[in-house]
Each structure stands twice: as C-alpha cells, then as structure tokens.
A and B are shown apart, each in its own frame.
Chain A
Amino acid sequence: MCLGACVAFGFTVFSLRLVDLQVSRADYYSALALEKHSTQQTIYARRGSVTDVNGVPLASNEPVKTVVIDASVVRHSDALAEVLSRHLEMPLDQVKTRLARQTQGPNGKWGPSPYIVIKKEVPEQVAEALREEVLKRNLRGLVFEQDSVRVYPNGSMLCHVVGFVSRMNGGLKGVEGVERSMDNFLKGHDGVRFTERDRTGKEMPAFRHMERPPRDGATVKLTVDMVLQDIVESEMDAAMKQFRPKMATCILVRPATGEVLAMVNRPHYNLNQREGVPDEARKNRAIMDMVEPGSTFKVVTTAAALDLKLVTPETSINCENGHFSYGGAVLHDSHHGYGDLTVNDILVKSSNIGVAKLGIKLGDHRLYDYIRRFGFGDRTGIQLPGEIGGIVHAPRHWTKMSITHIPMGHEVGATPMQVVSALCTVANRGLLVTPQIISSITSSSGETLASYPPVEVRRVIPPEVAEQLVSALKEVVSKKGTASLAHVPGFAVAGKTGTAQKTSPTGGYEHGHYVVSFAGFLPADKPELCALVLMDDPVPGSTPNYGGYIAAPVFSRIAQRAARHLNMTPNPDLLKVAGSLAKNEGGKTR
C-alpha cells in the first residue's frame, strides 16, 4: 500500500515536471535548444572587379587562406610547428609560441586554445602544399579558412584612378579612386543561411532553414583604354626622366563624349605595395590639384570677346611693344614685344598684353560669366572621389590688376581636368560635356545595371565662334605659333601652350619656377582626341622653359601613338607637309 502510494507520488512529481518542461517553459527551452544547435552562417559576397574599356582586369580578387590551428586536438605539436614554419616561411620559435597559447574554457580551466591564427593571406598554392604534407604525416589540428585579397595586376598603372580598398569591420571598403566612388556597386551583398549543427558542431545540411544567397559585386568598366594608358605612361616616364618636374599630369579625352581614355599622374605608387607611400604620391592631381592654368586660359578670354562680338579674329590690338602699364603695374609679354596683333595672332603668339586688353574690353562681370560657363570654379562631375572645383573669385573680390591677370590664366585656380574640359568645349564646337571615366556597370549575372551616355552640360559658345577659335588654335601649332613642336604628322592639330609662373606659398610668385602645359586636340576639324600635358616646375636644361618646348613635344609623341592605336586615318596631304617640315627644320629645334 505504502509502496503503491510512493510510486504514485513519484509519477505525479515526474508528470508535473514533464508538464512544466513541455508546456509551461516550452518556449524557453525550445529557444535554448535552437540557440545551441542552430547557427547563422554568413555567405560572403565576392567584390566585383574593375576593368578597362576592353575588359582588361585592373582590380580583381585573389583567393587566399588563413591558417588556423585547433590546439586542443594537436598531438605532435613540434612536428606540426616544423611543417608550418617551413611552408609559411615563419621563424620556428614564433610558430611554437603561437601553438603554446592557452585559453580559459567554459569550465574556467586553462587549456590549449581551439582557435589560433598562425598566418593570414597565405597563397592557395602554399596552402595546398601544406595540406598535402599535413595529411601525409597524419598531423591533426590544421584548419584553413577561405579569404580573399584585392589585387591590382597592373601595379602602378592607373593607380590614381583605380584606387584601393582597406579592410574595415571584416569587409573590404574602397578608400580611393573608383574603388571608393563605386564601392556600393563593387561590394555586393553578403548572403545568410540558418542551419543546424549536431552535438560535435558539424553542420547538418539536411536541416537548413532559410537561405538568402549572396549577391556578388558588379563589374565596373572604365572608359580608359589600357593601351592608350600604357602609351601615356611610357611617354610621361620619359618626360619625367628628361625634365624631372615635381609633378606631372596627362589626360586623354574623347571630346565628343567626354570619355577619359587615359589619366596619368606623377609621382605615383604601386597599388600592391602601399606601405610607406607618401600622401603626395597618392593624390590624383588631375582632379585634386589646382594650378594657375596660364596661357591655355587665353582661349576662354578670346572666346568671350569673340562671342560678344567685341572683336573679330582680324581686329587689330596694340600690344604696346611688350610693356603695358595698367593699374599701377607693368605687364610684359613673355616671348617678344609685339606691336599691333590681330586677335587671332594674340592666341598664336600668346600675347599677355593682347589678351589683357581683351579682358579690359570684356569687363569684370562678362569675363567672370564666361569663365564660369566654361566650367571653371565648379567640379566637372567626373565619377572620381575628391574632385575640387578650383578657385574663381567673384568680381567683387578682384583687385585693380585682376582684369589684366585673369585673362591670361593668373589669379585663377583650375584643375588639369577643368583645363582639358574647357578645351574639349572648343573641340566640340562650343558644347560643354561632362567628363566621364565609368563606361558601364554590369552585375555578376551579366545584366547591365548602369551605363553612362554622354552628358551635355550647356552650350558655352556658338559653333561659329568655336570655329574661329579652332582656326586660331591650328595656327598655334604651326611654324609661326608657340607650339610648332606639338605637330602630329598627318593630322591638323589645334592647341594652346601654357607657361605660368608658380605661386609661392608665402604669397607672390616664385622666380624661375613654372608650370608648363600644352592642351590640344586632333584632327582639328573633327576632333577624336583631346589631351593635356602639364608639368610642374620642370628642370629644362638647355631647353627653354616654356610649354611649347617641354609639354608640346610630349603631346606630339603621345598623340602620334594614340592616333595609330585609335585607327585614325592621317591626311596624306598633311603627311607630305610634315615630311617637308622635318626636312627644312633638320633638327633646328630639337
């Protein structure tokens, strides 16, 4: 009887406990069980690649492994340390120290750590060799974790445009260049998977719950053509060797569409070896650096004067024989003193006094208006980070001398990109087009996510005024102009030289230090290529320190090679002219 009562009581207690566990606290325990056995796996998305216009990879991913040791299952730690040290090229002592690391377990006891990172970013081939040897020698505890690193196959080429990434919060984040500006497209979206594990921690694929697949990053195709980039890089390297400027920039643009075909800055750096690179080398000077454009800016002043019909190309302006007093200061012409020059010849001879007089004719507000219409003082809108808008002061801040200085490209801060964009406007017969460096963005499945058709900003000058300018700029690149060395056999070239005295950080100008440049396009009648070559403070040696002698020949060499690559057909008549020119000059200038 008593036994029966005890059994009944026992069963009642167990039944109550069962009800308590299964009914009252069911949610709590099922959540606990789910937490213990269910895990959330992140499926990492691959970062998209960056290619040139022809699909040449500029930034891609390289799979690597992270070598991890679970020291709790290691039996022969000395043998394992020796193998690891040999394959991973690490000092044996360092590996042994890492293997001996102890951690406190959940029970509070200290023991061998189950997760020791031995080395990160181990190449796949090395990891494979290591795996084989470890398997052969039956060593336990080695785990490989999949990872990837960003590689830039072309090293330093196009470094300022491509940019680079940095590891942040476990992922890669674009820091500079296209890697930064297109980060949202490139990074992709990680996927997630909810799954269950058995008591040993192994995944049970049969019990996978919800799964959201990763979306790999998109491929960003640039407008840059690597063959043209290579041409420009090699010519700029040669120029750097010859003239040793503090910095140099060259931009190649297709004027009709605004597509940037090549962009080179010096100094530069290797994208795969960024440690210790000075900030100056990392700067994309084409869009981040401001210079006084110098005489290339005379195109803007002349365009304004012609458009407002204040002058015609044949209007004669007295250039005061090289000395012009205005506002209490004397203005000089840098090459020679000139008497009367037509407006055309003011550009051809690059007369400071002539263009200053055009500026005076225009007046502050009208000149300012045209400067802004050509895009100076605003960002061009190229899809690269960190672009600056330059400096164009409003007329109320101008001094008495500004109206003579600004027309010749002083007291104005412009980026090389703005200068080339302004010249493209003339090449486009007066139409300002936004420069673009991204051609298209394609998803990993091949779907086009975005494409970038040409963007016309505004009409700056009418086509007939642009034609007048083009004919003057063609003469600049003739025997009587300042840029005869910019000629390209077989093509009519239009362009303008620039030689601006460098501004001193303490105010005023530095004597004997110049920013020399040449901006031009070809063929002048139907431009397919527009380029700017700019060098800051070159050491000219026996060469005169002018844009026409330093930058123009570099332009010529680049344009010749680029024209052939772009399959531009030369004009046979101009080829003959070029041949006779070369015979007549016979090494006179070079």
Chain B
Amino acid sequence: MSSNRRRNANLLPVARILLLGVLLLTVGGGALFYVNAKNEVHRNGQRKKDLERELIALETKDEVICSRIAKLSSFDALRKRQSQEQEVFAKLVPVSDNLVVRLQERAPVAGEAQVRTVSNLQPKR
C-alpha cells in the first residue's frame, strides 16, 4: 500500500518542470527581446540614415533651385534677355522725369497731433 503510494506520488515533478519552463521562457524571451531590441536599434539607425539622406537630397534640390532662380533673375541675365528678346517681351521704356508725379508731404496743421475719436459707424443713407 505504502509502496504503491510512493510510486504514484513521484510520477511527474510538475513544479520543477514548471519552474524550468518559466526559467527557459524567461531566458528565451529575454534573449528574443534582446535580439529584437538590437534589430530595432539597427532599424532605427538605418531609418535615421535614410532620413538624413532624404534631407540632404531635399536640401540639395533646394540649393539647386535657389541657384537657378538666382541665375535666371540676376541683373546680368535679365539685361541679356531684355536685349535679346525685345520682340517677344514688352520693351522697357524709361520713365522720364516730366512723367513722375511727386507727392509732397502735407504741412502739419495746428492741433493735428491731438488724439481724436473715430467711429466705424456707417453714415445714414
């Protein structure tokens, strides 16, 4: 009776197996997490690199466009274009002095500097 009982009691060391399983899972999970984290670091690094490359490409594009604008709108280029393409574009006619109207500043009137009230009300029709 007692020997049967002993045999039955030692069949499966569940607690130990469970402990071992938990340990293995922890170590394995930790290792997997470590590998994943390491991969993530690499992925992020690569992403950073790609973004940097993209940024440089955009900056380069911007510089190229700025440089083109500067070239095309330079005085030198505009003068050349004006002389070469007078038939295509309207000819620039210098405004002579007699066609310039200069507005003289109005002489200040006494009391003009005083603060006055203003109203946004529309006048009655």
Categorize the interface residue count of chain B. 20 to 34
Q: Would you call B75 and A63 a contact (CB within 8 A)?
A: no
Q: Would you call A205 and B63 a contact (CB within 8 A)?
A: no
Against B, the Cβ 8 Å flags (1 = close, 0 = not) of A484-499 are 0000011000000000
- B60: which A residues are within 8 A, CB to CB? 63, 124, 146
Q: How far is the CA of A206 from the CA of B79 in the complex (A)?
A: 53
Q: Would you call B79 and A230 a contact (CB within 8 A)?
A: yes
Q: Which of A60, A148, A206 is B41 in contact with, Cβ under 8 Å? A: A206
Q: Would you call B67 and A230 a contact (CB within 8 A)?
A: no
Q: How far is the CA of A301 from the CA of B42 in the complex (A)?
A: 80
- B44: which A residues are within 8 A, CB to CB? 206
Q: Would you call B71 and A63 a contact (CB within 8 A)?
A: no
Q: Would you call A206 and B67 a contact (CB within 8 A)?
A: no
Question: Is A57 an interface residue when CB atoms closer than 8 A count as contact?
Answer: yes
A517 to chain B, nearest CB (A): 26
- A341: which B residues are within 8 A, CB to CB? none
Considering the complex, give the chain A residue whose CB is closest to the CB of B100. Answer: A564
List residues of A (450-488) whose CB comes within 8 Å of B's CBs: none
Q: Which of A146, A151, A205 is B71 in contact with, Cβ under 8 Å? A: A151
Against B, the Cβ 8 Å flags (1 = close, 0 = not) of A224-240 are 00100110001000000
List residues of B (18-47) whose CB comes within 8 Å of A's CBs: 41-42, 44-46
Q: Would you call B70 and A153 a contact (CB within 8 A)?
A: yes
List residues of A (61-81) whose CB comes within 8 Å of B's CBs: 61-63
Question: Is B81 an interface residue when CB atoms closer than 8 A count as contact?
Answer: no
Considering the complex, give the chain B residue whose CB is closest to the CB of A156. Answer: B76
Q: How far is the CA of A549 from the CA of B74 in the complex (A)?
A: 33
Q: How far is the CA of A578 from the CA of B96 in the complex (A)?
A: 14
B111 to chain A, nearest CB (A): 27
Q: Would you call B63 and A63 a contact (CB within 8 A)?
A: yes
Question: Is B77 an interface residue when CB atoms closer than 8 A count as contact?
Answer: yes
Against B, the Cβ 8 Å flags (1 = close, 0 = not) of A108-148 are 00000000000000001100000000000000000000101
Question: Is A82 an interface residue when CB atoms closer than 8 A count as contact?
Answer: no
Question: Is B66 an interface residue when CB atoms closer than 8 A count as contact?
Answer: yes
Q: Would you call A230 and B97 a contact (CB within 8 A)?
A: no
Categorize the interface residue count of chain A. 20 to 34
List residues of A (146-201) whose CB comes within 8 Å of B's CBs: 146, 148, 151, 153-157
Q: A124-B60, A205-B46, A205-B48 known; A226 and B75 CB under 8 Å? A: yes
Question: Is B56 an interface residue when CB atoms closer than 8 A count as contact?
Answer: yes
Considering the complex, give the chain A residue whose CB is closest to the CB of B75. Answer: A230
Q: How far is the CA of A534 from the CA of B58 in the complex (A)?
A: 48
- A156: which B residues are within 8 A, CB to CB? 76
Q: Which of A57, A60, A146, A153 is B77 in contact with, Cβ under 8 Å? A: A153
Q: How far is the CA of A155 from the CA of B77 in the complex (A)?
A: 9
- B41: which A residues are within 8 A, CB to CB? 206
Q: Would you call B63 and A61 a contact (CB within 8 A)?
A: yes
B34 to chain A, nearest CB (A): 14
- A155: which B residues are within 8 A, CB to CB? 74, 76
| Contacts A/B (CB < 8 Å), 28 sampled | A57-B66, A57-B70, A60-B67, A60-B70, A62-B67, A63-B63, A124-B60, A124-B61, A151-B67, A151-B70, A151-B71, A153-B70, A155-B74, A157-B74, A204-B42, A204-B45, A205-B45, A205-B48, A206-B44, A206-B45, A206-B46, A207-B45, A229-B75, A564-B97, A564-B100, A570-B97, A570-B102, A575-B97
User: Across chains A and B, which 4 residue pairs bring their CB atoms closest together, nearest first?
Assistant: A206-B45, A205-B45, A153-B74, A153-B70
Given contacts A153-B67, A206-B44, A564-B100, 15 further A-B contacts (CB under 8 A): A56-B75, A57-B66, A61-B63, A63-B60, A63-B67, A151-B67, A205-B49, A206-B41, A206-B42, A206-B45, A560-B97, A564-B97, A569-B102, A569-B104, A570-B102
B interface vs A, CB < 8 Å?
Answer: 41-42, 44-46, 48-49, 56, 60-61, 63-64, 66-67, 70-71, 73-77, 79, 97, 100, 102, 104
